[in-house]
Amino acid sequence: MSIFHYQNNTLFAEDVSIAQLASTQPTPFYCYSSRAFSQHYQQFKAAFASLPNTLCYAMKANSNQAILKLLAQQGAGADVVSLGELQRAIEAGFPAEKIVFSGVAKSAAEIKAALKLNIHCFNVESEPELRHISAIAQSMNKIAPVSLRINPDVDPATHAKISTGKSSDKFGIPLKNALPIYQLAADLPAIEVCGIDMHIGSQITKLSAYDEAIGLLVTLANTLKEQGIAIKHFNFGGGLGVAYKDSDSDQQTLLAQYAEIIKKHACALNCHYIFEPGRFIAANAGILVTQVRYVKPVEEKCFVIVDAAMNDLIRPTLYEAYHQIASVEQANEKSETQIVDVVGPVCETGDYLALNRKLAPVSEGDLLVLHSAGAYGAVQSSTYNSRPLISEVLVDGDRWHTIRQSPSIEQLINLDSIPNWL
């Protein structure tokens, strides 16, 4: 049975009715499935069971403490990109030795905190950062383990805003500069060269891009070995695509194809392997539940105005992202559909969740869900228009818990401080 499924024409998350949940939880809210998070993690883990590896969950996809604890208890590591994520990872129970620190602009405070914790590795993105880490580690009498993130200038054929492996992107060290910077790293004080890191983008379904990028970096690894620079691990990054539409490649098929590519190159590397899945684990483990406020037909189309907005789920307007929309109460298969725009209450034309979408007729008060909302949903939300962050709910079987409570408007206002001269 699907984790999000209809039972007696009503949508359920595991064994919890979304309609009943919405009767106790103000809309809009996010709803996550414990079973889905666990299944996706275990599926990824099983795909590489034959290789010595560590799966470091990319926390930027969904960093709620309950989700992190769920994954940490299953043995996952963590990929962090800020001091806040580092602290969240430690508090959720991720061992420091399973934490990798990525990002192009690590601050002195972030580097110091990571060194104190003895994390597994820094994924270094530039020569200035490498020198900065060396100086800080030396001042602390620490040895900083580093992996250089190499930009192979490969087109992952994904959205421009989530491409990270082309020469025009801000990420990583250009492949042509890799050898001298590795040699510099080997010579710098307080630096231990541990590995090679790559991450070419997100929501990648064109797997030939992975094949090409890994092949280039395998060649680099062999050259480094000839130069006496040992590579202990190879970090393949994350970015494997997931199914947002029925027509998209099945997640399990894509994972199997991806694993074949990795294993093809692994025999030439003979080291430890690190993966940083985020979206693959989180995206299809969550939904966004929203309620219809008004239905507004106009001459050109029909607007379905809901209580969720771009500040709650920015992906559609930021990335032109597609999320399947469905009614909580299943429509009759013979019901006619109409073309609608599903829009929110924020005062922006860009405030939409879906454009030109076929939807069975809905009425005020009806509940809708946006599927595949577990990744890059709540973590990218904001309080624009003074709209409080919405609640997040975690389901486990027939039980559920609010894992983040929506603050009141008063609490939101009280975050501000008025100077004494006003």
Q: What is the CATH number of the domain that holds 220?
A: 3.20.20.10
How crowded is residue 406: how many other Cβ atoms within 10 Å of its Cβ? 18
* Helices vs strands, H then E, count in the chain: 12, 21
So what's the pLDDT on residue 165? Answer: 46
Looking at the structure, do residues 205 and 62 belong to the same domain, yes or no?
Answer: yes
Cα gap 152→116, rounded to integer Å: 32
Residues constituting the chain: 422
Looking at the structure, do residues 276 and 385 belong to the same domain, yes or no?
Answer: no
Looking at the structure, do residues 272 and 331 belong to the same domain, yes or no?
Answer: no
Q: Which of 147, 193, 189 is nearest to 172 (CA)?
A: 147
What is the pLDDT averaged over residues 152-172? 61
Cα gap 143→35, rounded to integer Å: 40
Determine which of 83-97, 247-261, 263-277, 312-326 has the lowest per-residue pLDDT on average: 247-261
Cis peptide before 28, with omega less than 30 degrees from 0?
A: yes
Residue ending a domain, among 283, 302, 334, is 283
Give strand ranges (E) for 317-406.
325-327, 338-343, 352-359, 367-370, 391-396, 399-404
Instruction: Give the 3-state secondary structure of residue 390.
Output: coil
Cα gap 87→220, rounded to integer Å: 34
Residue ending a domain, among 283, 301, 317, is 283
Q: What does the DSSP 8-state code read for residue 348?
A: S
Examine the pLDDT at 249 and tell me if it is beyond 80: no
So what's the pLDDT on residue 155? Answer: 65
Confidence category of residue 247, pLDDT binned at 50, 70, 90: low
Give 50-106 pLDDT, tens digit per residue: 999 999 999 999 999 999 999 999 999 999 999 999 999 999 999 999 999 999 999
Residue ending a domain, among 283, 301, 324, is 283
Confidence category of residue 156, pLDDT binned at 50, 70, 90: low
Q: Which of 65, 64, 3 is nearest to 30 (CA)?
A: 64
Cα gap 182→197, rounded to integer Å: 12
Looking at the structure, do residues 264 and 123 belong to the same domain, yes or no?
Answer: yes
Examine the pLDDT at 333 and tell me if it is beyond 50: yes
Looking at the structure, do residues 219 and 79 belong to the same domain, yes or no?
Answer: yes
Q: Is residue 99 part of a domain?
A: yes
So what's the pLDDT on residue 160? Answer: 54
CB 109 within 8 A of CB 136: no
Instruction: Give the 3-state secondary structure of residue 36.
Output: helix
So what's the pLDDT on residue 270? Answer: 84
Confidence category of residue 248, pLDDT binned at 50, 70, 90: low
- For residue 350, what are the domain limits? 4-32+284-413
So what's the pLDDT on residue 335? Answer: 74
Give Dmax over CA atoms of the chain in angstroms: 71
Cα gap 26→291, rounded to integer Å: 9
DSSP notation for 143-164: -EEEEEEEE------S-GGGB-
**Counting beta carbons within 10 angstroms of the beta carbon of residue 241, is it exposed (0 to 12), middle (13 to 18) or buried (19 or more)?**
buried
Confidence category of residue 162, pLDDT binned at 50, 70, 90: very low
Phi/psi class of residue 155: alpha, beta or left (left: φ > 0; alpha: ψ in -120 to 50)?
beta
Looking at the structure, do residues 81 and 181 belong to the same domain, yes or no?
Answer: yes
Question: Considering the chain, what is the average pLDDT of its residues?
Answer: 93
Cα gap 339→226, rounded to integer Å: 61
So what's the pLDDT on residue 369? Answer: 98
Query: What are residue 305's DSSP bridge partners?
Result: 294, 343
* Residue 347 designated active-site: yes
- Return the structure tokens found at 187: 């010579």
What is the pLDDT averaged over residues 132-152? 96
Catalytic residue among 56, 267, 302, 347: 347
Examine the pLDDT at 152 and tell me if it is beyond 90: no
Q: Which residue has the tokens 């199997």?
A: 256
Cα gap 343→72, rounded to integer Å: 37
Residue 242 — φ and ψ, nearest 5°?
-130, 165
| Whole-number Cα distances in Å, 251 to 11, 65, 195, 282, 357 | 22, 25, 28, 12, 24
Q: Is residue 53 part of a domain?
A: yes
Examine the pLDDT at 334 and tell me if it is beyond 80: no
Looking at the structure, do residues 51 and 200 belong to the same domain, yes or no?
Answer: yes
DSSP notation for 407-421: PPHHHHHTTS---TT
CA atoms within 13 A on the CB side of 179: 13
Q: Is residue 421 part of a domain?
A: no
So what's the pLDDT on residue 163? Answer: 45
Query: What are residue 418's DSSP bridge partners?
Result: none
Query: What are residue 53's DSSP bridge partners?
Result: 273
So what's the pLDDT on residue 409? Answer: 97
So what's the pLDDT on residue 326? Answer: 95
Q: Which of 35, 41, 64 is nearest to 54 (CA)?
A: 41
- Return the structure tokens found at 297: 């037909």
How crowded is residue 14: how many other Cβ atoms within 10 Å of its Cβ? 19
So what's the pLDDT on residue 153? Answer: 78
| Total structural domains within the chain | 2
Q: Which residue has the tokens 């602290």?
A: 87
So what's the pLDDT on residue 167? Answer: 57
Examine the pLDDT at 325 and tell me if it is beyond 90: yes
Give 192-221 pLDDT, tens digit per residue: 999 999 888 878 888 888 888 888 999 999
Examine the pLDDT at 366 and tell me if it is beyond 90: yes
Examine the pLDDT at 15 and tell me if it is beyond 70: yes
Looking at the structure, do residues 295 and 235 belong to the same domain, yes or no?
Answer: no
Give 378-401 pLDDT, tens digit per residue: 999 999 999 999 999 999 999 999
Examine the pLDDT at 268 and tell me if it is beyond 90: no
Looking at the structure, do residues 406 and 374 belong to the same domain, yes or no?
Answer: yes
Looking at the structure, do residues 358 and 262 belong to the same domain, yes or no?
Answer: no
Examine the pLDDT at 147 and tell me if it is beyond 50: yes
